[in-house]
Structure 1
Amino acid sequence: MTTSSILFEQWATVHQQRAEQALASALPAADTPPQRLHAAMRYAVLGGGKRVRALLSYAAAELVGAPASSADAAAVAVELIHAFSLVHDDMPCMDDDDLRRGKPSCHKQYGDATALLVGDALQALAFQCLAETAAAQALTQVQILAQATGSRGMCGGQDIDLQSTGQLLTRDALETMHQYKTGALIRAAALLGAYAADHTQEQHIQLLDQYSQNMGLAFQVVDDILDATADTQTLGKTAGKDALQEKSTYVSLLGIDEAKALVKTLYEQSLQSLAGFGPQADSLRGIARFICERPF
């Protein structure tokens, strides 16, 4: 393992723990009424996941010279939105999956009605966390997260996905779907971190935008590869569901080898976006490596 890889692993561990603690503090205690809902919210959010989106917020804050403490609200908000999306995505009316992060999905543990409310409550809490910071650019953060979550972002991508099941999408249509479904929230995670600073240079935003769009697409391509090649235990969710549900993926469209080649291209393009930065972008480089080099 290279020195840069070791340093990134150390950085990631520290910031994953920081995000976990911040999430635990932001979520209502399980014994606070209504207890069942709050227990289910904590079940859905805590103790699992790689916290990639939180890491992106912290790394982007680093790039613009902001302390990690200023990015806590961004990291929490984006992870709450991500958890909300997973809870709803696993429900029978959506992807209908019994497993998430190696344990029963929220609706399997608490029932459909509670799971629906968990997603609603997590979404509301995400925006509350950003609004309560009273940071200089909090309004911009709220706007970015709202767009990334709604019909022109994650929810819109989910709808396209549902309407496209059983159809063979073109590559352009598939990319558009995933720019919404997966990429929008990854892009938002990076921009939220950058806007955690009191002032953010436009150059930083433009380059982070390029970087995060490449990373958002790369994340989805790797997910498609893993869904086709990894087992359920490794994934922490049911493997092979894309093929079973006849969904268009980068694997079904391009094949494994070409999909892997696309990941490599996206990785190189993401690094090029950071070429003008020095060590302050090392964490972003490490995240790119982590996303793109997950074992196939």
Structure 2
Amino acid sequence: MTTFNEFRAHYTPLIDDYLQKHLATEVDDQKISQIMSYSVMAGGKRLRPLLFLATLDALDQQITDHDLRIACGIELIHTYSLIHDDLPAMDNDDYRRGKLTSHKKWGEAEAILAGDALLPLGIQWISEGSQSAALATIITKAVGPNGMVGGQYLDIDSTNNDSVAGDSQFINRMEWLKTGCLIQASVEMAAVAAGASAEQKKQLLVFSRAFGRSYQIYDDLVDVVETSEEAGKATHKDQEAGKNNTLTLLGIKESRLELIKLIDEAKASLTGLNGTVLAGFLALYQKVL
């Protein structure tokens, strides 16, 4: 039985290699290719592409080169969102994954265009890898106005807005949209690609919802319990910037308890599946508990 660490150690280099080679060969202009690759290859956990592949593994599906293309398409879309989130008009961050953010390295216009290029290229890779419109529909819904972009808008609109500070329904919705939707889509696309049964899809939906919601709580906790060096980006910024999130709503202690509850829910949802690798993703949270 493959463990999470073994799975990650095997597939992360394959993901990195695919991203590096195909960004170099499939983008005609080498300068924009270089700018796009700068952020994509800056590091990171490759969480979302690994989730897609691990879901296939949980359904006992052999992972192919087509699946790797889909997984890497997800990572391109995730990176686009990070580049745009870091811009001065958004979160105004100077560092990401321990390196200068794209706009600090190349300029604001270049960073915007790199993000603009990564989003459609990611959708293209997903469509080509799946040879089906179904996966493209899932991912575009997840990142559009009713998904990630909508959540980011709510995040900006609620900054320094005391009227939503104690509104748990608003904060849960905002954090789900800006983070959970893409995580759920990564799992859902794999379930569709693997031809999962209705019951398996139901189980995986529960897992993805619990994991997707818990990941934003984890990220909120990282902002207060880790140093900038540990996190690879500026920390202790959310409260200073007037952000409303789970931490400002519940505090550190109650946020940790909510995270533990979601971890238990995610684990329970995997009963009957080959879910050893998927369950291993939950171990990422230990450093904030």
- Interval containing the TM-score (normalised by the shorter chain): over 0.9
Offset at 1:107? Answer: 0.5
- 2:289 is equivalent to residue 293 of structure 1: no
Contact 1:63-1:194 within 8 A present in 2 as well: no
User: What stretches of structure 1 of length at least 5 have no aligned partner?
Assistant: none
Aligned twin of 1:111: 107
Structure 1 residues 169 and 112, CA gap change in structure 2 (3 angstroms): farther
Q: Which amino acid aligns with 1:269?
A: E
Aligned twin of 2:158: 164
Aligned twin of 1:186: 183
Offset at 1:244? Answer: 1.1
Q: How does 1:90-105 map to 2 (within 5 A)?
A: 90-105=86-101
Cα distance in 1 between the residues matched to 2:90 and 2:130: 36
Say which of 29, 35, 47 aligns to 2:30.
35
3-state SS of the aligned residue for 1:293?
A: helix
Say which of 220, 230, 233 aligns to 1:234.
230
User: What stretches of structure 2 of length at least 5 have no aligned partner?
Assistant: none
Cα distance in 2 between the residues matched to 1:117 and 1:254: 38
Say which of 40, 62, 71 aligns to 1:67.
62
Per-residue Cα deviation, 1:1-41 (whole angstroms, up to 9, x for no partner): xxx9x9321211111112112222331349x6422211010
Q: Which amino acid aligns with 1:36?
A: K
Q: How does 1:128-167 map to 2 (within 5 A)?
A: 128-135=124-131, 138-167=132-161
Aligned twin of 1:257: 253
- 2:40 is equivalent to residue 45 of structure 1: yes
Aligned twin of 1:267: 263
- 2:22 is equivalent to residue 26 of structure 1: yes
Say which of 222, 225, 229 aligns to 2:221.
225
Aligned twin of 2:73: 77
Offset at 1:253? Answer: 1.1
Contact 1:267-1:289 within 8 A present in 2 as well: no
Cα distance in 2 between the residues matched to 1:233 and 1:36: 30
Further displaced range: 257-266 or 67-76 = 67-76
Q: How does 1:194-209 map to 2 (within 5 A)?
A: 194-197=191-194, 199-209=195-205
Contact 2:103-2:110 within 8 A present in 1 as well: yes
Structure 1 residues 200 and 45, CA gap change in structure 2 (3 angstroms): same
Contact 1:74-1:189 within 8 A present in 2 as well: no
Root-mean-square deviation (CA), in Å? 1.7
- 2:240 is equivalent to residue 244 of structure 1: yes
Percent identity between the two aligned chains:
32
